[in-house]
Amino acid sequence: MAARLRRITTEIRKLEAVSSIFLIETTPVTQQEDKITGRVLPNSEPYSEGEYRIEINLPPDYPFKAPEVRFLTEIYHPDVELPDGKICLELLSVEKWLATTSVVDIVKAVVDMIDKPKLDNPLNTVMALEYKNNPAQFREKAAEYIKKYALH
């Protein structure tokens, strides 16, 4: 238990150092739950126009089991399930998870996923097809979501 708490404390310090892509809102230390919430700051258009809250749920056997990550802010994106905000990152899969993977690595992977959608295996195939075949319409819908839901 003490080793887990030390690990989480170290992870929070590392997150504080990447404020250009993630702004911490709450941590297990501040809320007495095993969740970290914060805002990701993507770089690509149109997503760079907003900030998006995510939740990183640390399981009791973290770091030996991967956290669950989901969007709390609705975002129009092929790799985010609406309305529950679930995502699918290979890094978090049972087969690929390593206990040495940091929360910063997870946040970077989330930002990378937003900036570069994984169109070969999306969670929302309709959005992925729209992204590929009608990018102007996709950007318009994404911009509507940003205006309506994103934090600024």
The span from the CA of 150 to the CA of 135, in Å, is 20
Give me the chain's average pLDDT, please. Answer: 94
Sign of CA dihedral 100, 103, 109, 110: positive
Q: Which residue from 145, 123, 124, 136 is spatially nearest to 50, judged by alpha carbons?
A: 145
Q: Longest C-alpha distance within the chain, in Å?
A: 52
Strands, E assignment, the chain: 22-26, 35-40, 52-57, 68-71
The span from the CA of 15 to the CA of 18, in Å, is 5
Q: Domain 2-149's class?
A: alpha beta
Instruction: Using a cut of 0.75, tell me whether the model's pTM lies above it.
Output: yes
Mean pLDDT by 10 residues, the chain (152 residues): 86 94 88 87 96 96 95 97 93 96 97 95 94 97 97 90
pLDDT at 32: 65
Q: Which residues have a catalytic role annotated?
A: 88
Q: How is the chain split into domains, by residue range? A: 2-149
